[in-house]
Structure 1
Amino acid sequence: MASPRDRAPLAELVEELLATDGPLPIVAAGDPVLRRGTERFEGQLEPALLARFVEALRVTMHAAPGVGLAAPQVGVPLRLAVIEDPAPVPEEVRLLRGRVPLPFRVLVNPSYEPVGTARAAFFEGCLSVPGWQAVVARPAEVRLTGQDEAGRPVDEVFTGWPARIVQHETDHLDGTLYLDRAELRSLSSSQAMAERWTQPSPQEAAASLGFRLP
């Protein structure tokens, strides 16, 4: 459990962020907070402040819009993230990517490990790297451990697109951006994505841009 002295700086930072209504500003790549890693959550925020912060993350994620948001993305170096994906996608995309609805979740002190050796590669973007996407090969199935916002233990296996989301957000808490894991030859602007790479699979992009898929 953090001491009052340890809690103060983060609590003050969060109180300052929550002083205005509406979505929080999202930090963009290049800000050191995205690269320094995070503190484990050990009570630095009192329950009422934690609940307000979680709600602000949820509002910000929805407004962006995105399917996940980690605390460092709003400038708070705390091991905490929120995820949610209504997955409004065509059936072909759902089947190929395993993109199924993911209810709202709060991840506290999460970590993951691969389950098996299968990997899946798809275009991925990030709210902290606006305007770009790139193909990232990730474990197709992962075991996530940690806690929820009430301190209850989490030990769960995720597959398909939900597995990609929890990996992406947990990576943020370790100072890792998706670009660190990406096939850089696949890097595409939002305009190129809309004009060229809307297919459910990145196979055509791999052939045209010259990168390999697992």
Structure 2
Amino acid sequence: MRLKPLMKVCQGIVGQSRSFGTSPAASQTFRKWYQQLWTTERTNLPPYNHFTQIGDPVLRQQAAVVPKEHLDSPELKAIVERMVKVLRKFDCVGIAAPQIGVSLRIIAMEFKGRIRKELPEAVYQTRQMSELPLTVFINPVLTVTNYTKLKHPEGCMSVRGYSAEVERFEGVKLTGLDQQGNQSELALSGWNARIAQHEMDHLEGKLYTDHMDRSTFACTCWEAVNTKSGRVEIPFYK
């Protein structure tokens, strides 16, 4: 089947669960019953409907190139659709396939115009933000076009609840394939260039914490922690 070779290159590390029984059945040997207590069960396989979190080995792997013969496969389309679904479900601006447990070179970005209304105008201008329609790249390649570096706060849905200042190049160009498998090219600057660099890092097994100014690393809800006497939860679902 076409599913097997594609999934072989994008297998993620899945969680383990233990099945604790009560006592061995009469027909079972104690040894077989004991082994069942520690059997690894594969549940909730990727592509996930949530973001993988720092510590998951899939975020530290170099993602595999999507084979040409699978570019028009229903399995690949399903992975891209799940990425877009999770991107919008968590209301973020970028996602890479490893963030849903799939180690393939795919990214998706979207910066909606309404975000401007949610931010102070000074922040929007200083960070050089601009609207970016939904953009998907398969097997993307990034080229720096402006080597000026800008330093701004950056967060990641795979490092939930924290942020830090990170230096990124001001301008980049992405080349690769779009959702239909056609060759595509896109020049980006400012904040959108930052999004592209952030997502490309994921494909190399890197996180923003590898580049951050460590002195600025902070919990995004530290004030709420103090106000609510520590009774604050960081959700990993939505």
What TM-score results when the alignment is normalised by the length of structure 1?
Answer: 0.79
Distance 1:94 1:68 in 2: 17
User: Which residue of structure 1 lines up, in the alignment, with residue 5 of structure 2?
Assistant: 6
User: Which residue of structure 2 lines up, in the alignment, with residue 188 of structure 1?
Assistant: 218
1:147 corresponds, among 129, 152, 177, to 177
> Higher helix fraction: Structure 1 or Structure 2?
1
Matched AA of 1:180:
D
Aligned-residue CA RMSD in angstroms? 2.5
Please give the secondary structure, in 2, of the residue aligned with 1:140: strand
Distance 1:5 1:191 in 2: 43
Distance 1:55 1:193, change over 3 A: farther
Shift of 1:146: 1.4
Residues 62-77 of structure 1: matches in 2 within 5 Å? Answer: 62-77=88-103
2:60 corresponds, among 27, 30, 35, to 35
Contact 1:83 1:106 in 2 (8 A): yes
Contact 1:10 1:45 in 2 (8 A): no
Distance 1:59 1:48, change over 3 A: same
Contact 1:11 1:44 in 2 (8 A): no
Contact 1:146 1:154 in 2 (8 A): yes
Residues 1-214 of structure 1: matches in 2 within 5 Å? Answer: 6-10=5-9, 16-17=45-46, 24-42=49-67, 43-44=69-70, 46-87=72-113, 88-89=115-116, 90-192=120-222
User: Which residue of structure 2 lines up, in the alignment, with residue 202 of structure 1?
Assistant: none
Matched AA of 2:212:
A
Matched AA of 2:49:
L
Contact 1:7 1:45 in 2 (8 A): no
Distance 1:40 1:190, change over 3 A: same
Distance 2:73 2:180 in 1: 9
Aligned residues: 188
Distance 1:6 1:47 in 2: 11
Shift of 1:25: 2.5
Shift of 1:17: 3.6
Contact 1:122 1:137 in 2 (8 A): yes
Contact 2:93 2:195 in 1 (8 A): yes
Q: Structure 1 stretches of 5 or more lacking a match?
A: 196-214
Shift of 1:128: 0.4
Q: Which has the larger radius of gyration?
A: 2
Contact 1:8 1:44 in 2 (8 A): no
Q: Structure 2 stretches of 5 or more lacking a match?
A: 13-43, 226-238
What TM-score results when the alignment is normalised by the length of structure 2?
Answer: 0.71
Distance 1:41 1:121 in 2: 32
Distance 1:12 1:45, change over 3 A: farther
Please give the secondary structure, in 1, of the residue aligned with 2:213: strand
